[in-house]
Structure 1
Amino acid sequence: MNERISHPTDPLNILLCANNDFAQHAAVTLASLLLNNSDEAVYVTFVGDLSERSKDSLKKVANLSGSAYLSFLSLSELRATQDADLFPPNLPTQGDYCVKGAYSIDIYTRLLVSRIFDEHTYKVLYLDSDIVVHGSLRPLWETIIDPYPLAGVRVPYFDRTHLPNFSPGDPYINSGVLLYNLPRWRELECEQRCLQFLEDNSEIVRDPDQDALNGALKGELFFLQHKWNAIGPYSRAHATPGKNKKQPVVYHYNGPNKPWLYMSNHPHKHLYYRYLRNTPWNTYTPPDKSLINIFSKTTRAFLPFALRRFLKKIANPKTHP
């Protein structure tokens, strides 16, 4: 771990969320961030249930930069340092692994950011741990979002009409990359409003933190250019040939098509492995890399689409009635 240093420019305050299952992928995010922002002082806070072994591995990645400082915090530790009367009573404990579906309780990190950073921190950039940073974050960091408390990238072609006061076409941001204006976040009581939204709509939320941010703060969100969070639709658009295309800076592997899976066909999968080589997980082998899948992937590109679809139905009859 490096000591905090003085830096001539405003340092980047980065918030990452990861548990042991995602430590490798968080390491890729960290490596890509540091290698492409080598002239920056970067203070990274990890929130999640990480083992000492995972922490040590992430510290080794931090050595890619001479001006990176890591700190670690779990939600259970955060609860222990807070006044019990102030901490949300309905927040799941660290022992409850899931909130809804496959989500870890660490997703609440995005809602509790003002508890993680003190009043002297004015700006924080949150990044998911299935992200590759492929350029400088300085332009994003210097984006003025005032008077808004939060900035994110809109999800295209995505309606959340099940949420209160949402109509088709209403803007909705992805919570994988978030730029916080902490003074406004506190002033507008965004944390309390988001948690209240979750409590009032617990039966209908699908992506708990994301729905809460969009639902509680509707009309108070700043929309960033999609190059700062190239989720699926944006990644595919940039993978097609074309002139004068501005490439994304942040690639977000959201959804099930994860690049660390052998059968993944993500158009920017190679970037994940490029930065993986700079981590202690550089000998990683995808768990789904079997002889059958190697044969399947090798022959798939040469088979007509109709035949591939037919073979897929045979292989997975339960998913194809």
Structure 2
Amino acid sequence: MLAKIDMLAEIDEPALSLSECFVVTSVDRRFVEFAGVMLHTLALNGDVDDVSVVVFCDGLTPKDKSHLRMCGGRLRLTLFEVSEKTLRQFDGLKTNSNWSRSIYTRLVLPDLLGCKDGRLIYLDADTIVVDSLRPLLNLDMAGMPVAAVGGVSKRAIARLKLPDETKTMNSGVLLIDIREWLYRDLSKSCLEIVRTQAESLRFFDQDALNIALAGQFVSLDRRWNVVLHSHADDPAIIHFTHDKPNSVRCQHPAQPLYLQYRQATPWAKKPLKSHWHKRINRWVHSVRKLFGR
């Protein structure tokens, strides 16, 4: 058993000055377009003009950041570059051609924000917001640290070795009670799980969070995280899991809506990625791992 990780001692960023409620995402260069479109939809539809919006950045260029600010419009937007010292905590953690080290930022958000209380909505960069997020900010969380879309999956229970009938969730959209998260020390617990149970984690950070929570989360209506093969009559957040909406491979029925919103961003005229793009990404990732990068 590895020694418990003293993650908080490693974080050296100054605390951000934020309001009690805010929306957060985390992105590296591969997901800048998605984050830009998401911010555009958040500004149009999210009803969060009075909420601080934070993008944690891993290796973004000045041009990338300029594009994100343009997409954010009237949002109270902060772009926060995560230091290499913090990111080194994720060295050796499982990654692949789809998920880079920046996914683990999701597991330490309350610590990075430096807040002791309040509520945050985490959105994966590959989401779009199509209705007000105000109901989430006002949701009664009943003492739970997290709310998310989920349910009982026998396959997930067996793979993660959880007790029968334990709920699991998709972590692409999370509502987090910061005080309760910190009280339960979930950041340290999740990172320890990732390090000690890596071989059993198929969805990496999401699996770690499901193991740490063991079903102790508030179940949200499906409208808050509409993924491929799911449906909601009145969706609020659409999530492009699997093939992304800027690809010819995408089968999500909301792809045309994503492309419609993209027309108002710097990527309006960018062609869709070909069938070969995913294979090339896998090859590049394999080469980088071979050379320890």
Fold shared by both chains (TM-score > 0.5): yes
Shift of 1:219: 3.2
Once the two structures are superposed, residues 232-291 of structure 1 have per-residue CA deviations (whole angstroms, 9 ceiling, x without a partner) of 232xx34xxxxxxx31110001112x221134332111110121112111111113299x
Residue 287 of structure 1 aligns with which residue? 273
Residue 260 of structure 2 aligns with which residue? 274
Shift of 1:175: 0.7
Residue 190 of structure 1 aligns with which residue? 186
* Structure 2: distance between partners of 1:11 and 1:122: 4
1:37 matched to 2:46? The reply is yes
* Structure 2: distance between partners of 1:143 and 1:76: 35
Q: Of 237, 259, 264, which aligns to 1:250?
A: 237
Q: Secondary structure in 1 aligned to 2:182?
A: helix
Shift of 1:77: 5.6
Once the two structures are superposed, residues 128-182 of structure 1 have per-residue CA deviations (whole angstroms, 9 ceiling, x without a partner) of 0110100100011211213101111016756221213344x53210010001101
Shift of 1:69: 2.1
Identity, % of aligned pairs? 27
Q: Secondary structure in 2 aligned to 1:203?
A: helix
Q: Is the 8 A contact 1:15 1:45 kept in 2?
A: yes
1:260 matched to 2:257? The reply is no
Q: Is the 8 A contact 2:148 2:169 kept in 1?
A: yes
Cα pair distance change 1:78/1:201, threshold 3 Å: closer
The total of aligned residue pairs comes to 259
- TM-score scaled to structure 2, two decimals? 0.79
Q: Which runs of 5 or more residues in structure 2 are unaligned?
A: 1-15, 277-293
Q: Secondary structure in 2 aligned to 1:272?
A: helix
**What is the CA RMSD across the aligned residues, in angstroms?**
2.7
Letter in 2 for 1:55: K
Runs of 4+ in 1 over 3 A off after TM superposition: 155-158
* Structure 2: distance between partners of 1:221 and 1:40: 27
Cα pair distance change 1:134/1:156, threshold 3 Å: farther
Q: Which has the higher contact order (CA 8 A, sep 6+)?
A: 2
Q: Is the 8 A contact 1:132 1:271 kept in 2?
A: no
* Structure 2: distance between partners of 1:152 and 1:129: 16
* Structure 2: distance between partners of 1:182 and 1:12: 10
Q: Is the 8 A contact 2:33 2:267 kept in 1?
A: yes
Q: Is the 8 A contact 2:148 2:170 kept in 1?
A: yes
Cα pair distance change 1:60/1:158, threshold 3 Å: farther
Residue 216 of structure 1 aligns with which residue? 212
Cα pair distance change 1:125/1:201, threshold 3 Å: same
Pairing 1:89-128 to 2, within 5 Å after superposition: 91-93=89-91, 99-100=95-96, 102-128=98-124
* Structure 2: distance between partners of 1:193 and 1:277: 41
Shift of 1:106: 0.8
* Structure 1: distance between partners of 2:113 and 2:187: 13
Q: Secondary structure in 2 aligned to 1:70?
A: strand
1:47 matched to 2:43? The reply is no
- TM-score scaled to structure 1, two decimals? 0.73
Letter in 2 for 1:48: C
Moved more, 126-135 or 276-285: 276-285
* Structure 2: distance between partners of 1:48 and 1:216: 26
Letter in 2 for 1:213: L
